[in-house]
Amino acid sequence: MPSIPAFPSLRSVLLTAVAAAGTLCATLSHAGPTVDTIKKRGQLVCGVSQGSAGLSLADSQGRWTGLDVDFCKALATAVLGSPDKVRYVPLSSQQRFPALLSGEIDVLNRNTTVTSSRDAGLGITSTAIVFYDGQGFLVPKKLGITSAKNLDGAQVCVQPGTNNEQNLVDWFTTHKLKYRPVVIENLVELEKAFYAGRCDVYLSDASTLAASRSARAGNPDDYVILPERVNKSPLSPWVRDNDSNWIDIVRWTVNAVVTAEELGITSGNVDGFLVSRDPQVRRLLGVDAGIGKSFQLDERWAYNVIKSVGNYGEIWDRNVGPKTPLKLERGYNALWNKGGLLYAPPFQ
């Protein structure tokens, strides 16, 4: 009788397929045009707001700080090895998308909400959620208003070209209330108008309202953020959608700092984790090679980011947390295993 051929085991077939896929990816992967431009320039160009405490704000010496700024620094560290190799470009809400599309900036880290129309219709791509926010109303306490449902006839300060403007229409229409919009493009001028009493209400993301109240109100305790949230406002870095390598790097840099917090890795103890036997830790920090190469980055890119900028919790606490003027609790921005929504896919 003819001999029956021996078929390879399922395990050996899978291992062969994985090895082949790895070889193919290593052959095909290459740095995209954005990374090539950044490396040639020796500097990341990052679009930020025109001034929002806790998110992106320059001091009198031109030094930028904030949660969005720290993600700019993280990206510069991932690609160039240094958090200092960043040029910040302050942009209004109407300037931000043209600046990104034209190549004036490499990434937009400017408290920008993810929406279907932006993701699908502008030629740009959201990468990863860095802040789960929601739009709300800031009012002077002296008005005695405790609910947004009591805003009938109010004058509302709002920026044009933002989701805020449309959400303002939707909110007042849904609740059958009248209002008078005060539309001002420049954020600084808009906030000056509000605190000068030109309008009764300031509509924006709750984080922006908290930042404004802490930085620009003469007495922050004279103003209150009403409890209602107009909508969900998940904030993300944005990039052009024609460069998959850069999209991946931005997305996974955010994932890296979230994963670091989940694993208990901080800027202060990261060196001690280099001897860890935990496979997740070893892959994240580049002890076991492979992840960095797949992004066309140094194998220690994520280690460098965590060492320079910290994990997500450190970034939060430093810029907007309870010990800052904004005094924001983590809430939805806590890790998934601590009651929040932050969840990073695995590094493997």
Six-digit token string for 14: 């899978």
The string of pLDDT tens digits covering residues 172-192 is 999 999 999 999 988 889 999
The answer to whether the beta carbons of residues 72 and 46 sit under 8 Å apart is: yes
What are the boundaries of each domain within the chain? 33-130+236-266+310-338, 134-231
Closest CA to 111 of 59, 163, 76, 74: 163
- In this prediction, residue 159 carries a pLDDT of 87
- Could you give the angle at the alpha carbon of 285 between the alpha carbons of 282 and 288, nearest 5°? 45
- Model confidence at 17: pLDDT above 60: no
Q: What is the pLDDT of residues 287-321, one digit of tens each?
A: 999 999 999 999 999 999 999 999 999 999 999 99
167 three-state secondary structure:
helix
Identify the CATH class of 33-130+236-266+310-338: alpha beta
Total-model pTM: 0.82
325 in Cβ contact with 214 (< 8 Å):
yes
Distance (Å, whole) CA 227 – CA 146: 8
Chain segment 33-52, per-residue pLDDT in tens: 999 999 999 999 999 999 88
pLDDT for 24 equals 39
User: How far is CA 345 from its chain centroid?
Assistant: 16
CATH 3.40.50.12280 fits 134-231, yes or no: no
> At residue 200, does pLDDT exceed 60?
yes
Q: pLDDT class for 267, splitting at 50, 70, 90?
A: very high
Nearest to 320 by CA among 55, 16, 27: 55
Rounded Cα distance, 108 and 235, in Å = 11
Residue type, 81: G
Residue 163: both structure tokens together: 């989701």
- How far apart (Å, rounded) are the C-alpha atoms in residues 88 and 56? 9
pLDDT(2) > 80: no
pLDDT for 28 beyond 60: no
Asked whether the predicted pLDDT for residue 278 surpasses 60, the reply is: yes
> What end-to-end distance do the CA atoms of the chain give, in Å?
47
Residue 226, SS3 per DSSP = coil
Q: Do the Cβ atoms of 252 and 245 come closer than 8 Å?
A: no
CA distance 190 to 182: 9
Condensed to tens digits (0 to 9), the pLDDT of residues 318-338 reads 999 999 988 888 999 999 999
